[in-house]
Amino acid sequence: MNIADQVTGMVSTSLLISGGITLLVLVIVGIVLWRVLLPIFRGQKMTRELLDNGEFAQAKILRLAETGMMINNQPVADILLEVHPRDRAPYQAQARMAISMLRVAQVQPGAVVPVRFDPSDASKVVIDLR
């Protein structure tokens, strides 16, 4: 075996190893993105479905808490609501939403807001500020 064959073999091995490492990194990044983005997309889908098909109710905001997250430069807040459906007893539910700076005054403790909820799972609630 001459030197050229040895160099070719080493280059092929190096390319194979670097290709394997690149593939491994891409798989890991893909898994991380999947685990991070999937819950976000599921939450957006649930919100759209509730806004379109959820049962209407009024709710009083009991507590507003910062999450430390921002979406499109809008703060995301955890909101404790006292939901007052028409046909059942009031109950408490938790909602999380990005609040437009233009709507911050509407979403304060003590305010009454329109909400939509899933009648089959009343813990699924979104504030309807459309």
Residues 82-108 have a mean pLDDT of 92
pLDDT at position 10 is 66
Instruction: Give the tens place of pLDDT for each residue, 23-66.
Output: 899 999 988 888 877 766 777 788 888 999 999 999 999 999 99
The pTM of this model reads 0.68
CB 83 within 8 A of CB 109: no
